[in-house]
Amino acid sequence: MQTDIERIYATLLDRDYQQILFGNLEGFEKKDNSYIARCPFHEDELSTLVIYGDRPEYFCFACSARGDWLQYMQMKDGHSFFHALAILGDASGIPAHGYDKGRWDDELLRCIVLQHVLGYFNALLFSRQAEEVLHYLYKRGYTVSEVEGSSLGFFPGFNTMHEYLVSGGFEKETLNEVLNVLWNKEVENCPLVIPYRDTCGRLMGLYGRDITLSGEDAYIPLTDVTALSDVPYLMYKSRAKDEVILVEGFFDALLMDQIAEKPVVSIGKGGLSRGMLDTLVSYGTKHCILALGSSDIQKKATIDAAEIIHSTGIGVSVLPIEGKYSDMDEFIRSTSIKHFKKLLGKAHSFQEWKNMNLS
């Protein structure tokens, strides 16, 4: 279930609300997919404040001020939490009734801790200790720029991460309270980090990949991910898009997101849940293209997914992946982006696909 705040943020992001909320700052201008401006929280001539384009957050490279829009409105304009929330609720047309400030405080702190460690993990991925992980990614066929564009990271172990957070100024007691709830301390051998964002782009969880294993068992949550169970992976990039490609794995989605020119989400090995479908529909998806793979299990998942999608009245078609390629990742690696684009043009209606595959 998406929270009201998540829905408000998602709606306002789709309307480029950054321009209204931050547009009065000196030096405010668009830079790539984000905005920059002079930071209101410290004296400076330079534009050191980044206002992200794809999530409701800001960060100052000089004074490290960071938070979400509600935090900004409280810090900068002195609004109370509820007043700030009412302003955003009005602007989005989604009233946030009865929202608990304690819950928002917890979520914000969680996001801030996760963003902080992800920045560290991203940098570590290109260090010597991550050699094996990088080798694994390159062997899988990723190029350097694809790895850089994917925001993957390297997990150096819990204790090293903890030391890093303490040295970053997080107060020990608060930090331990957050990590006790958030972090899955049992997991040590999952060096490849995959960030998982909620529907408005806030970093709400991390998965780890054990590079010595294959298949579903290789992916283990490094953090609590219960809040993300109804959120298809990369959903925040697919809001308000009529047509979305559904793939199985994280890596299929990460790769295709960089090349497909169409929004793509991953639904995992478990197939498309009702909750995930509801999320897609509630954020504007009108047509799903299934590209779940060619094995018998994946065909079964395709049929199950197509049937529940169909029951909601939205359109569904299927990409005909040849049996010799297990999934989209492998298909693209073994052929080319050109072939993939051609394949996209050949999507079958579900009925056509079913006739071909079950006869």
Q: Residue 349: which of 292, 308, 310 has the closest Cα?
A: 310
Tokens of 306: 């197509």
Q: Give min distance, CB of 263 to Zn ion, in A.
A: 33
Shorter beta-carbon distance to Zn ion: residue 41 or 52: 41
Shorter beta-carbon distance to Zn ion: residue 41 or 158: 41
Q: Give min distance, CB of 54 to Zn ion, in A.
A: 21
Contact of 320 with 293, CB cutoff 8 Å = no
Which residue in the set 8, 36, 60, 280 belongs to the binding site for Zn ion (CB under 5 A)? 60
Contact of 80 with 70, CB cutoff 8 Å = no
Q: Strand ranges (DSSP E) for the chain? A: 29-31, 34-37, 49-51, 57-60, 66-68, 153-154, 192-197, 203-209, 219-221, 243-247, 264-266, 287-291, 315-318, 348-349
Contact of 82 with 35, CB cutoff 8 Å = no
Q: Please work out the total of residues on this chain that contact Zn ion, with binding judged by CB under 5 A.
A: 7
Question: By rule CB under 5 A, what string of x and - marks binding of each residue 305-334 to Zn ion?
Answer: ------------------------------
Q: How many CB atoms lie within 10 A of CB 97?
A: 7
Q: Which 244-273 positions form the footprint of Zn ion (CB under 5 A)? A: none
Contact of 340 with 332, CB cutoff 8 Å = yes
Question: By rule CB under 5 A, what string of x and - marks binding of each residue 26-45 to Zn ion?
Answer: -------------x-xx---
Shorter beta-carbon distance to Zn ion: residue 38 or 197: 38
Answer yes or no whether residue 137 interacts with Zn ion by CB under 5 A: no
Window contacting Zn ion (CB under 5 A); options: 59-67, 70-78, 283-291, 305-313: 59-67
Shorter beta-carbon distance to Zn ion: residue 50 or 254: 50
Tokens of 248: 């199985």
Which element (helix H / strand E) includes 193? strand 192-197
Q: Residue 17: which of 66, 65, 58 has the closest Cα?
A: 58
Q: Give min distance, CB of 62 to Zn ion, in A.
A: 5
Q: Give min distance, CB of 82 to Zn ion, in A.
A: 26
Q: Which 159-188 positions form the footprint of Zn ion (CB under 5 A)? A: none
Q: Which residues contact 359 (CB under 8 A, 6 or more apart)?
A: none
Q: 197 pairs with which residues across the strands?
A: 203
Q: Give min distance, CB of 71 to Zn ion, in A.
A: 14
Shorter beta-carbon distance to Zn ion: residue 72 or 331: 72
Which residue in the set 27, 53, 63, 284 belongs to the binding site for Zn ion (CB under 5 A)? 63
Contact set with Zn ion (CB under 5 A): 39, 41-42, 60, 62-63, 65
